[in-house]
């Protein structure tokens, strides 16, 4: 597909890199000539220097040939105007980043309809949702949901004392009477789809798939289940903190936000009457101790500085906070943080890129029924949810008879309200939702799993 990215900042560049890797023809638009020079030098993409809300710039970018235009500048209004013009000038689909809570809380549907938007994205809200899901199941370092939360995938890091260490996956299924599947494993830099003879080791990062109740049951059996976080301390009062606090307060949690800017504290106090808003520097350990960091269930660091988020989260862990989460956008710092013991990390640009890649893939193959897509294990594994269509050539064939590609696993089947971990005797029926995990390859259609 022909894709235009308007705004090549952190998120725009991440989108551009991901879409180039998907095989699309990508063109970046930015007002800064140095940014365009860097993008075109580093990536296999074209570039146009100019204002993405200017018709001449869009004409130069051949917007009339665009299958998809994604506007992710720092301005909501510019993004909406760019998409509006692009749609009028012939772009087939448009996506705008809209971050302002006023737009998202009131009349977003009306805005999308009037502007002809195919999709609106809010990286801060998506990040807040990801953090909220993790806090619902604090034992996990990552948690993704499929088919309206009826099926889940959680990532766990195996520690030295884990009862899973030294156990093969076949033995694991026999030992623990829960309906689950280990769908992917990352060991060091390598990620793979394991078979039953695979033996787990300390340090492995594993992806478990199951219905929510079955995952809870397994974690209880393993003795690693943590109670759901009820009191949460958040460092930084930006948009992500606002959205996360709203979700937590609605769920009955106690929320405390520490923010350096006095004016922002006043805004948050008005917007979040149920939260405790503190004006202060969260980098000061004395302040954190005075405010009860040792008694809190979870600490979430959401400042604008990756390094600060990592260091303060490590300090929180040293004070025996059961769950710590850090926002880190730079991949190299995320890898360093994991080596320092901070393995629960979220990245707004990665969350956003995953959503746009899913949307582009769904547009590219409407027959494939791509319902959900997640990148796992440092983007080395994909978990994709498909709808089984009438054209799927292997429908109603026992799974043991399917000739599947290597490193591809059917991890779950959702039939009506029933979630199943499949066996070799199960079949994919038309209308089923099926969750597939794949390592080292891209799935655009359910038929791509077949050899």
Do 176 and 203 fall within a single domain? yes
Do 415 and 375 fall within a single domain? yes
Specify if 387 maps to a domain.
yes
Specify if 70 maps to a domain.
yes
End position of a domain, from candidates 172, 203, 222: 222
Q: What is the pLDDT of residue 104?
A: 65
Q: What is the pLDDT of residue 369?
A: 66
Residues 324, 235 contacting (CB under 8 angstroms): no
* Helical H segments across 106-188, by residue range: 108-115, 123-136, 169-175
> What gap in Å lies between CA 358 and CA 239, rounded to an integer?
24
Specify if 167 maps to a domain.
yes
Do 13 and 54 fall within a single domain? yes
Give which of 369, 310, 368, 320 is closest to 340, Cα–Cα. Answer: 310
Do 217 and 243 fall within a single domain? no
For residues 21-25, give the mean pLDDT.
90
Which is it for strands 151-157 and 142-146: parallel, antiparallel or unpaired?
antiparallel
Specify if 129 maps to a domain.
no
Do 272 and 372 fall within a single domain? no
For residue 234 the two structure tokens come to 């958040």
Do 235 and 185 fall within a single domain? no
Q: How many domains does the chain have?
A: 4
Q: What is the pLDDT of residue 389?
A: 86
173-187, 194-208, 211-225, 408-422: which has the minimum mean pLDDT? 211-225
Which residues make Cβ contacts (< 8 Å) with residue 377, sequence separation at least 6? 155, 184, 186, 191, 205, 207, 439
Of 62 and 227, the one with more pLDDT? 62
For residues 265-284, give the mean pLDDT.
93
Do 11 and 111 fall within a single domain? yes
Indicate which CATH number applies to the domain containing 252: 3.40.50.720
Do 252 and 146 fall within a single domain? no
pLDDT in tens, 158-201: 888 888 888 898 888 788 777 888 889 988 888 889 888 899 99
Do 19 and 117 fall within a single domain? yes
Specify if 204 maps to a domain.
yes
Residue with tokens 């990552």: 142
Res 227 pLDDT > 80:
no
Name the pLDDT band for 226 (thresholds 50, 70, 90): low
Q: What is the pLDDT of residue 225?
A: 65
Mean pLDDT of the chain: 88
pLDDT in tens, 325-379: 999 988 888 888 887 878 788 988 888 888 898 888 888 765 556 788 888 887 8
Do 194 and 143 fall within a single domain? yes
Which residues make Cβ contacts (< 8 Å) with residue 415, sequence separation at least 6? 429, 431, 432, 433
Specify if 425 maps to a domain.
yes
Indicate which CATH number applies to the domain containing 195: 3.30.70.1450
> What gap in Å lies between CA 379 and CA 51, rounded to an integer?
32
Do 210 and 287 fall within a single domain? no
Give 9-59 as a DSSP string. Answer: SHHHHHHHHHHHHTT-EEEEEES-HHHHHHHHHHSS-EEEES-TTSHHHHH
Specify if 127 maps to a domain.
no
DSSP 8-state symbol, 427? B
Specify if 25 maps to a domain.
yes
Structural domain for 146, as ranges: 137-222
Half-sphere exposure of residue 431: CA atoms within 13 angstroms, side-chain side: 4
End position of a domain, from candidates 269, 298, 321: 321
Do 155 and 77 fall within a single domain? no
> What gap in Å lies between CA 243 and CA 256, rounded to an integer?
13
Across 64-78, 143-157, 197-211, which has the greatest mean pLDDT? 64-78
End position of a domain, from candidates 87, 121, 155: 121
Dihedral sign, Cα of residue 345, residue 271, residue 145, residue 158: positive
Residues 234, 244 contacting (CB under 8 angstroms): yes
Q: Is 251 helix (H, G, I), strand (E, B) or coil?
A: coil
Q: Percentage of residues in the chain with pLDDT exceeding 70?
A: 97
pLDDT in tens, 104-140: 666 677 777 888 888 889 999 999 999 998 898 877 7
Residue 113: count other Cβ atoms within 10 Å of its Cβ. Answer: 10
The structure's pTM equals 0.85
pLDDT in tens, 45-104: 999 999 999 999 999 999 999 999 999 999 999 999 999 999 999 999 999 999 887 776
């Amino acid at each position: 597909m022909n894709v235009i990215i308007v705004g090549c900042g952190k998120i725009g560049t991440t989108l551009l890199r991901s879409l180039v890797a998907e095989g699309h023809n990508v063109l970046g638009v930015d007002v800064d000539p140095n940014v365009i020079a860097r993008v075109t030098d580093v990536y296999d993409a074209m570039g146009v220097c100019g204002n993405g809300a200017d018709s001449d710039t869009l004409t130069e970018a051949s917007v009339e040939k665009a299958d998809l235009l994604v506007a992710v500048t720092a301005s909501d209004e510019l993004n909406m105007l760019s998409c509006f013009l692009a749609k009028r000038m012939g772009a087939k689909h448009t996506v705008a980043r809209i971050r302002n809570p006023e737009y998202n809380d009131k009349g977003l549907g009306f805005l999308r309809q009037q502007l002809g938007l195919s999709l609106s994205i809010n990286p801060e809200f998506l990040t807040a949702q990801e953090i909220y899901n993790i806090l619902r199941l604090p034992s996990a370092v990552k948690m993704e949901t499929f088919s309206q939360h009826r099926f889940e995938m959680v990532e766990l890091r195996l520690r030295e004392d884990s009862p899973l260490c030294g156990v093969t996956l076949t033995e694991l299924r026999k030992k623990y009477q829960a309906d689950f599947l280990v769908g992917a494993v990352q060991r060091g830099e390598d990620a793979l789809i394991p078979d039953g003879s695979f033996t787990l080791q300390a340090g492995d990062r594993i992806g478990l798939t199951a219905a929510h109740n079955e995952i809870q049951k397994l974690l209880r059996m393993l003795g690693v289940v943590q109670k759901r976080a009820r009191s949460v301390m958040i460092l930084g009062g930006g948009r992500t903190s606002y959205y996360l606090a709203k979700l937590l307060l609605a769920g009955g949690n106690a929320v405390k936000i520490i923010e350096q800017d006095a004016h922002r504290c006043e805004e948050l106090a008005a917007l979040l009457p149920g939260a405790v808003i503190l004006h202060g520097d969260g980098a000061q350990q004395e302040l954190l101790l005075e405010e009860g960091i040792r008694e809190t269930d979870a600490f979430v660091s959401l400042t604008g500085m990756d390094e600060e988020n990592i260091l303060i989260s490590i300090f929180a862990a040293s004070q025996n906070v059961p769950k710590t989460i850090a926002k880190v956008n730079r991949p190299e710092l995320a890898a360093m943080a994991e080596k320092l013991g901070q393995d629960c990390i979220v990245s707004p640009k990665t969350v956003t890129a995953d959503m746009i890649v899913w949307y582009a893939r769904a547009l590219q193959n409407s027959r494939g029924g791509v319902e959900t897509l997640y990148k796992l294990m440092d983007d080395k594994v994909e978990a994709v949810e498909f709808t089984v269509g009438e054209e799927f050539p292997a429908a109603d064939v026992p799974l043991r008879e399917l000739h599947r590609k290597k490193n591809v696993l059917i991890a779950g089947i959702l039939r009506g309200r029933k979630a199943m971990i499949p066996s070799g005797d199960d079949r994919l029926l038309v209308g089923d939702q099926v969750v597939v995990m794949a390592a080292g390859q891209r799935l655009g259609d359910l038929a791509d799993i077949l050899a």
